[in-house]
Amino acid sequence: MFILQRLSKFPQNLHCIKNVMQRYPKRNESFLSSPGPSSMLKNVVKASLVGISIGFPVGVAITMSYSWYINKEASKTYHLEGKEEKIEIIQKKPLVPISREVVFPVDTTDLKLTLFQYQTCPFCCKVRVFLDYYGISYDVVEVDPVLRKEISWSTYKKVPVLLAQVDSGYQPLNDSSMIISLLASYLKDKSQKIDDLVECYPRIAMHDENQKFKYEIMNKYFLMYKGNLPSDKYMDEIIEERKWRKWVDDIFVHTLSPNVYRTLDEAYRTFNWFSEVGKWEEYFPTWERLIMINIGAIAMWLISKRLKRKHNLKDDVRQSLYDEINKWLHAVKKHGNTFMGGEKPNLSDLAVYGILKSIEGCNAFEDALDNTKLSTWYYAMTFLKQESSTENVGMIFDVNKTVKYAFVTTEGCLWPILRSRIGRKYKQNGHMSMLELQYVTAERQYSSSNSKQELLHTRLVKIFLEICDLMPGLAWTQV
């Protein structure tokens, strides 16, 4: 009402100004004629007043209309505020071809999991790092990042989506942090059922500070101990772990896109790397792969500019990435151990590692290694310690049940060969034969001892033969 009253007085104000201007002599009546100084001043003032008289009401009208639209849209969902949306169990598994299987022969979880993912999505990498670290077998469905037809069955249109087989069907699990917390809770107490644990992470409707409607998963950084706090955990450690896991999602991950898509050329190189490590040539037709690369690169290059402003990154976005990495490394150093979790990684270590793993083939990652002290912690994580000292071989199979890759756990150390620099040292595309795998692993751990190297080589052969006995239908691909 106040604005309307002021606008109603605007013509009167214009009339007063006009009377004042009429006191000056009119040297030139035509606006198009060559004006004198006073006439030019008059025309400038006149044009300014006309602009204000038009622009101000239009601006007010647009602002009021936008506010009205936002409030109207928000009002449609106000009745949902605070209500829970159940993640319903589906009765049948979606008829989507499995891209590959990751199998840990000593997996004792009895979980049947299918991960719908983009290979280089930071949040998907977080989940894979967790599953690999704890030796949990799972199937992988590679999702087209543009068309996303592989998750058309799901109301949740983001990745990762983890589908867990339960007694009454298949339970979808959404949001990487919720997935990790739920599975970590299950590993602490396997008497808990997956579909029961889902109830501990309700999905609640709410509006953010901009009145945008969304669903937020509650407790997603909390493990469900059921009142039985682990003897090796202190409450301050648990709180610290939650804090850094949340930092990964709220702050750190937002430094990635503006860095890996910093220029159009960098965006294309990033998407070509995505295509290589994601095996898009195997899983998608050529036309679809070209759309994914070209449309994806251009779109993300443009979006990255908006993300830079939204998350208040520095003009040199590399510096923002380095700053957050240094913040993490400082916190790890403050704890006085190799990892944030102490002598072995905790969930915050795995989260940071997973996020960085997603850009491992990008220029931004190489620059981070060169301009920070990241490499010490990162490569300690690359060869991280397992929860169990049991010897283990993790293998990835293609759709024809042929072994495509392997990564070996020996004496409690995980040796991932998939995309590590060691793997690229021997085979540019990351594929390795078993003999090369044995040699690289032995060379890395026992480079100064031939006898120990020979001993480890013998043990690895024994492990591999045992795996072949367990799975006689498998063939090893020599590459």
The first and second tokens of residue 196, run together, are 């029961």
CA dist., res. 211 & res. 391, Å (int): 52
Distance CA 429, CA 407 (A): 15
Sign of the Cα pseudo-torsion (347, 353, 358, 364, in order): positive
pLDDT at residue 96 is higher than 80 = yes
Determine the Cα–Cα distance for residues 43 and 34; give it in Å rounded to an integer.
Answer: 11
pLDDT at 315 over 90: yes
Question: Strand order of the sheet with strand 84-85?
Answer: 84-85, 203-207, 213-217
First to last CA, the chain: 77
State yes or no: pLDDT of 322 exceeds 70: yes
Task: Domains for the chain: give ranges and CATH numbers.
Answer: 100-229 (3.40.30.10), 245-390 (1.20.1050.10)
Band (pLDDT 50/70/90 cuts) for residue 113 is: very high
Q: Which amino acid is at 167?
A: D
pLDDT beyond 60 at 186:
yes
- Evaluate if residue 114 carries a pLDDT over 60: yes
Q: Is the pLDDT of residue 195 over 80?
A: yes
Helix (H) or strand (E) holding 122: helix 122-133
What confidence tier does 51 reach under pLDDT thresholds 50, 70, 90? low
Phi, psi (5° rounding) for residue 394? -95, 135
With tokens 């976005």, the residue in question is 317
Lowest-pLDDT range of 148-152, 218-222, 240-244, 315-319: 148-152
pLDDT value at residue 93:
94
Partners of 479 in beta bridges: none
**Average pLDDT of 305-324?**
96
Structural contact between residues 347 and 245, judged by C-beta atoms closer than 8 angstroms: yes
pLDDT score of 97:
93
> At 258, is the pLDDT very low, low, confident or very high (cuts 50, 70, 90)?
very high
More confident residue, 287 or 74: 287
For residue 395, the cross-strand partners are: 103, 406
Active-site amino acid positions: 118, 121, 123-124
pLDDT at 196 over 90: yes
Rounded Cα–Cα distance for residues 84 and 74 (Å) = 17
